[in-house]
Structure 1
Amino acid sequence: MPGISAVPNEILEEIFWRCLPSPPDRGLASEFPSILYIDPSSATAPLLLCQICRRWRELATSSPCLWASLNTVSARTSEQLELWLSRARHRNLSLRIERRYLYHPHPHYPSSSALYLPLLVTKFSRCQALALKNWPAPSDFAMPASFPQLESLWVQMSNDALEEARSISRPLLGHAPRLRCLHWDGPDVPLPWGQLLYLSWRPANMDIFSRTVHQFTSITTLQLDFSWRFFEGISLPEPCVVPQVATLFFGGNAAGLRTIITPLLRHLVLQKLTVEDDTEQDLAIIHLLERSCCAIVTLEIYEGCSPSFPCLVLLHDCIAPSLTRLVISSHDLNDFFSSIETMVPDTLPMNVRLLRAVDRCFHIDRLDFCAPGTSTSALARVLARCFPCLVQLDLDDGFCWDDDDESDVFETSVVIGGERTFMV
């Protein structure tokens, strides 16, 4: 490679760094910032770079930035793990650790915690990002006392550890002054709630939630997930103001929306809401909007919403005037148009048809075969009147099977701009 050989090492090192896998881009639909944890593979950088020539191997192995991220689940031996981390030298680390084969260990594949934890724990003080899955009970392993570099922590404790840890009053997480992002799927323990900017949390019960939510003074992105029976047999407390939250991901029991007030809310994501009464779901959402007096810019609606949801909520004063991006299923969007026509007859042009089928997802279709020369651009004009600021519509139907064309149907993104042509 005569041309490459003339490239200075500093530039080549920058090229190597850009060859690393990219973190997943999950868009707004993910509450947690995307962080790259590299799987050791000869098919991807940095190991791939070491196979090209001697110069590349020497430069790659002496570039700590290429080795500062690792998904330890993919490490085959403790020697491989130790070699990888030694090449990172003194760089801050991003580590993903999973305790595998917890219940039925395979004789040839022992638990990764038994193999790697003693080594990995010595690196925790250098971790900038840390993801711990199936984390063991505190009696099996205690967290270090200090995490001076830690900015992002993702924790899911193992089922066998939860009961033991519920009774712990001391912090499981030591001193972590730089921690800003936390996903916590574990017991009720003291955590640095007040310094967080991103939080994903599934509270165990209302008492824990009530004692904790007032500490969310700095959080800007919040995900809450309440279990189906979370509010069973108890009365809802007065809602608490979470003053800085601009993005809210909410799933589970919709009654939880009545427990918070979010005056700065701009982005709302609703995922798999569960209620016994569809009307209660809609009223809970409207309660959040009206108490918060916010202006929603982005609204994402995923599976689990009631048939009455689209019209009651989408046309609310906190949504319709300011909405610029909407994610909704074609089923719910069809219901929205149907509700509009019911509430205000003759709103939809006569030549617009709504295609429905019993055994598959609803579709918005051009239906030129039914009305030559017409298309769903007429529906786009209805959307433009309802949502004057709308510039993007995403149809999300998850995974389903279309019997007509025998193809899988996934999310369809529709950008409404210029003349607001609406094509699906």
Structure 2
Amino acid sequence: MADPRAARERRTADRERIADLAARIIDLEAEKHLLEAEQETLQERLDAYTYPVLTLPPEVVSEMFVHFLPVYPKRAPQKGLLSPITLCQICRLWREIAFSTPSLWRTVTIFLRPGGSVQNYDVDHAHIEASLQRSGSCPLSVQLEYTQSDTSSLIQLIIAHRTRWEHLKLFVSARNLPAIIGPFPLLRTLTTSVWIPRPHDETYRPPTFHTAPLLRRVAIDHYKDIFLSMFPWAQLTVLVIKIIGINPCIRVLTLALSKVGDRMLADS
């Protein structure tokens, strides 16, 4: 049988312990309120602080952003650390400034590999469409490389802005040229490599760049005879060509009468 006296002592001890815990809880709650008040004060102080860079005029920040990217017409990555998208991820103000700075979005690179994922193309389409919209009326520096026999919606998207192309790197099959070439009122420089599908028609003559009145610099990766009719040779001032054989070299030199500088790599 339990000792009544011992039971009373345990109950008394429990009551004292409960009272002690209640007192400690009151003390801890008071301390918690003090800590929360201090936290609020510190947060208000931080919120009131303005970082010096955020006090700069938007036009200055915009110019800084432009210098963050490779010097135009070099093309910035479409995504990643060195792309203009990075500038949009710092804070809301910087994102607004970046989106309203057309020159940040004036370079475009499209590289479609055979068998590429449709899902990836959809992502790229949305990104490039947004970039083209943000670029406003700026001239564009474009790199276009693809091997598909058809012209995807992504290619059609950039071709729709063809009249703004100022600098172009073009690596395509000859069968893709009709969809690409058209009036190029702003085109100044062109780097190109065109491959001809086999078998092909020896009499095939591709569309030309004669509707590019400002074109002055052309670099051709691998020379082919079809190039003879493609370019306005007489208006070029800089010509870089890889040529196989001396006869094509002579023909090109004959056509490019007004050039002031050239570099031709002739294979023996």
Match of 1:172 among 184, 188, 208: 208
User: Which 5+ residue runs of structure 1 have no aligned equivalent?
Assistant: 24-34, 103-110, 227-251, 254-424
| Greater helix fraction, Structure 1 or Structure 2 | 2
How many residue pairs were aligned?
Answer: 206
Residue in structure 1 matched with residue 187 of structure 2 by the alignment: 150
Matched, 1:188 2:224: no
Q: Give the TM-score, by structure 2 length.
A: 0.68
Q: Aligned Cα RMSD in Å?
A: 2.7
**Residues 202 and 45 (structure 1), Cα distance of their counterparts in 2 relative to 1, 3 Å cut:** closer
Deviation of 1:180 after TM superposition, in Å, equals 0.8
Give the conservation status (yes or no) of the 8 Å contact 2:177–2:207: no
Residue in structure 2 matched with residue 39 of structure 1 by the alignment: 77
Matched, 1:8 2:57: yes
Deviation of 1:119 after TM superposition, in Å, equals 1.1
Greater relative contact order: 1 or 2 (C-alpha under 8 angstroms, separation 6 or more)? 2
Give the conservation status (yes or no) of the 8 Å contact 1:142–1:172: no
**Residues 169 and 158 (structure 1), Cα distance of their counterparts in 2 relative to 1, 3 Å cut:** closer
- In the aligned structure 1, how far is the partner of 2:255 from the partner of 2:156? 34
Matches within 5 A, 1:11-26: 11-22=60-71
Matches within 5 A, 1:44-55: 44-55=82-93
- In the aligned structure 2, how far is the partner of 1:143 from the partner of 1:57? 33
Q: Secondary structure at the match of 1:21?
A: coil
**Residues 113 and 154 (structure 1), Cα distance of their counterparts in 2 relative to 1, 3 Å cut:** farther
- In the aligned structure 2, how far is the partner of 1:4 from the partner of 1:55? 11
Q: Secondary structure at the match of 2:197?
A: helix
Deviation of 1:172 after TM superposition, in Å, equals 2.3
Q: Secondary structure at the match of 2:228?
A: coil
Deviation of 1:136 after TM superposition, in Å, equals 2.3
Percent of aligned pairs sharing the same letter: 24
Q: Secondary structure at the match of 1:131?
A: strand
Give the conservation status (yes or no) of the 8 Å contact 1:194–1:217: yes
Deviation of 1:189 after TM superposition, in Å, equals 3.3
Q: Secondary structure at the match of 2:77?
A: coil
**Residues 170 and 95 (structure 1), Cα distance of their counterparts in 2 relative to 1, 3 Å cut:** closer
Give the conservation status (yes or no) of the 8 Å contact 1:125–1:147: yes
Q: Secondary structure at the match of 2:263?
A: strand
Q: Give the TM-score, by structure 1 length.
A: 0.44
Residue in structure 1 matched with residue 102 of structure 2 by the alignment: 64
**Residues 143 and 88 (structure 1), Cα distance of their counterparts in 2 relative to 1, 3 Å cut:** same
**Residues 162 and 204 (structure 1), Cα distance of their counterparts in 2 relative to 1, 3 Å cut:** farther
Matches within 5 A, 1:261-410: none
Residue in structure 1 matched with residue 141 of structure 2 by the alignment: 94
- In the aligned structure 1, how far is the partner of 2:83 from the partner of 2:143? 18
Give the conservation status (yes or no) of the 8 Å contact 1:200–1:223: yes
Give the conservation status (yes or no) of the 8 Å contact 1:202–1:224: yes
Give the conservation status (yes or no) of the 8 Å contact 1:193–1:215: yes
Residue in structure 2 matched with residue 137 of structure 1 by the alignment: 174
User: Which 5+ residue runs of structure 2 have no aligned equivalent?
Assistant: 1-49, 113-120
Residue in structure 2 matched with residue 325 of structure 1 by the alignment: none
Matched, 1:210 2:250: yes
Q: Secondary structure at the match of 2:240?
A: strand
Residue in structure 2 matched with residue 160 of structure 1 by the alignment: 197
Deviation of 1:179 after TM superposition, in Å, equals 0.4
- In the aligned structure 2, how far is the partner of 1:13 from the partner of 1:78? 26
Give the conservation status (yes or no) of the 8 Å contact 1:143–1:174: no
- In the aligned structure 2, how far is the partner of 1:70 from the partner of 1:188? 25
- In the aligned structure 2, how far is the partner of 1:45 from the partner of 1:143? 26
Residue in structure 1 matched with residue 15 of structure 2 by the alignment: none
